[in-house]
Amino acid sequence: MSKTALLFAGQGAQVVGMGRDLAEQFPTARALFDRANAALGYDLAGICFNGPEADLTKTENAQPGIFLVSWVVFQLLKERAPGLKFDATAGLSLGEFTALTAAGVMSFEDGLKVVRQRGRFMQEACEATRGGMAAIIGLDEAPTREVCAEAGVELANLNCPGQLVISGAAEKIAKACELAKTKGAKRALPLPVAGAYHSRLMAGAQPKLRDALAAIPLNLPGVPVIANVTAQPHATCGEIHQRLVEQVTASVRWEESMRYLLAQGFTRFIELGPGTALSGFMKRIDKTAQMLNVADAASLAAAVKALSV
């Protein structure tokens, strides 16, 4: 029996128009967008559908927006492919919250609200610091760590072979990009982000997130959920709480997380939410893995067809 893991999109995947065709075509989707608006007390669905882009890219909107669209496509996939069984979940950064919610750790409303709060706390940390991030393409982990140490920045994302992301003070990121090129990086590209995510510059968000998480009930996951911080399954509710707080400043060990699942016999992965970044990473990690994605009505239909074979 092949094992299936659900993978949930992270920040940066947002795009104006996401979810709109789903809300127009599926009553289940429309109802979930309405529920989200009611839970949050503002028109998040409208920002997802119509923008403007400047509003959608604000961390406090992008994070719950991606969570919401990812949750909608998860529910639609279960509805359209009722025989679907999944054996684990994982999510990139904020996607870990969606993965935990899909595994029954928190309710949809609680997950949505805490992700909205997380986005606001991280936005505040961005505004209090002058940070940035850059993608380092074509350089291995060891020399990239040397660059980080020399420039005084941190390794934020270990996404897949040949694609790492660094994070830190803006002026240090510029220096790190130059250093990476001297060490053989094919490219070192500053990213259009609001701040230095997954670095110590985000530490101001942690106590607020800790308090927000303490206010919601957590259940043990119904299937293994892989933690970004450890690249291992979460164990206890207390550990889930702690890892989600740590994750704000810690490295996202995505490649290692996927290699853990592959070693456990997982052969099929379904990316849920806007974009196809996680599918792209998997192609670089293991070309033999079956990869499906669901982001809109067309990809939903394609995934349902593939799952029915």
Q: Give the residue numbers marked as catalytic.
A: 93, 198
Q: Which of 47, 53, 48, 67 minimizes the C-alpha distance to 114?
A: 67
Rounded Cα distance between 137 and 144, Å, is 10
Beta bridge partners of 233: 226
Write the CA distances from 182 to 62, 98, 145, 272, integer angstroms.
Answer: 35, 39, 14, 37
Torsion angle, alpha carbons of 301, 226, 122, 293, to 10: -10
Greatest Cα pair distance, the chain, in angstroms, is 54
When computed from its CA atoms, the radius of gyration of the chain, rounded to whole angstroms, is 18
Q: Is there a contact between 69 and 55 (Cβ–Cβ < 8 Å)?
A: no
